């Protein structure tokens, strides 16, 4: 989409960064959108190369496929009972991730790595089965509500990361890792106390942290792509894990709240 300067409002400017006449520059150019509210209190900067845009399309296309395959895995557990979520599916997921990480990213191995990614998504979906069994007993509609809620959360935070100033959320990395350490300590402590309140606090805090990871991982993927790392399959794994973790936590929280409401009615 190209617009002349006359078509743009005074508060919006479009700049094209002209690069030296080299092979690299001719294959990819950067567009810099800058929008400023007259008050100067709000500013959006959007910088993305064409190769990075293509990379993001591949990442999110792979993510959509992972969602479908994971849903199939959950269906296998809940409905057919051919595979049951548990230790074996956890080991299967870990095995697929290790296999994927050990397989180099190149055109010759792309189909193989996509198949491994699909296997990882399938085992992850089957692994969600036990949590879904718990939720179905309380209210089956919670699964749909949790999925829609997760989708909205994921899309909102993804858009925030995509249209925010470049690298503006990368500072969250240290904070989020510290948050994961706190979650681990809380879970260990709660193994001895078995407190429902502490468990719920753990789930809410984990949900907030995973939302932060959506921001962080999205911008980190962009930076990696800008620096030449075009392994969209591995980048898809990061976002897929973010989505699944948010879904699991939101689903369990909704189920616990529904269960508490039923107890109050009695």
User: By mean pLDDT, which of 5-9, 87-91, 102-106, 164-168 is the weakest?
Assistant: 5-9
Name which residue leads in pLDDT, 209 or 24: 209
- Structural domain count, the chain: 2
Same domain, 128 and 174: yes
Average pLDDT over residues 63-77: 96
- Domain span at residue 33 reads 5-47
Give the C-alpha separation, 247 to 127, whole Å: 13
Same domain, 101 and 164: yes
Same domain, 103 and 185: yes
Contact call for residues 236 and 215 (beta carbons, < 8 A): no
Residue 2: exposed, middle, or buried by beta-carbon count in 10 A (0-12, 13-18, 19+)? exposed
DSSP string, 77-118: IIII-SS--SHHHHHHHHHHHHHHHHS--SGGGHHHHHHHHH
In the predicted model, what is the mean pLDDT of the chain?
84
Joined together, the tokens standing for residue 75 give 């269906």
Same domain, 183 and 220: yes
Same domain, 79 and 210: yes
Q: What integer pLDDT is reported at residue 48 of this predicted model? A: 60
Same domain, 16 and 139: no
Contact call for residues 228 and 62 (beta carbons, < 8 A): no
Q: What integer pLDDT is reported at residue 234 of this predicted model? A: 97
Q: What integer pLDDT is reported at residue 86 of this predicted model? A: 87
């Amino acid at each position: 989409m190209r617009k002349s300067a006359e078509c743009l409002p005074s508060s919006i400017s479009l700049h094209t960064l002209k690069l030296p006449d080299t092979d690299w520059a001719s294959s990819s150019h950067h567009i810099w959108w800058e929008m400023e509210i007259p008050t100067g209190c709000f500013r959006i900067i959007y910088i993305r190369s064409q190769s990075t845009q293509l990379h993001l399309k591949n990442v999110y296309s792979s993510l959509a496929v992972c969602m479908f395959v994971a849903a199939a895995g959950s269906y296998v557990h809940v409905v057919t009972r051919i595979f049951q979520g548990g230790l074996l599916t956890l080991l299967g997921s870990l095995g697929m991730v290790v296999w994927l990480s050990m397989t180099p990213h190149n055109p010759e191995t792309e189909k193989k790595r996509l198949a491994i990614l699909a296997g990882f998504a399938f085992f992850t979906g089957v692994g969600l089965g036990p949590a879904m069994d718990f939720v179905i007993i309380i209210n089956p509609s919670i699964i749909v509500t949790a999925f829609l809620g997760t989708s909205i959360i994921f899309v909102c935070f993804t858009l925030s990361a995509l249209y925010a100033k470049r690298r503006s959320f990368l500072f969250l990395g240290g904070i989020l890792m510290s948050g994961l350490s706190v979650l681990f300590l809380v879970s260990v402590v709660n193994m001895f106390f078995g407190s429902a309140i502490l468990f719920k606090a753990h789930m809410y805090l984990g949900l907030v942290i995973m939302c932060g990871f959506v921001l962080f991982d999205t911008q980190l993927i962009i930076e990696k792509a800008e620096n030449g790392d075009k392994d969209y399959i591995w980048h898809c794994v990061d976002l897929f894990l973010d989505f699944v973790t948010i879904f699991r936590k939101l689903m369990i929280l909704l189920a616990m709240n529904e269960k508490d409401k039923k107890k109050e009615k009695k």
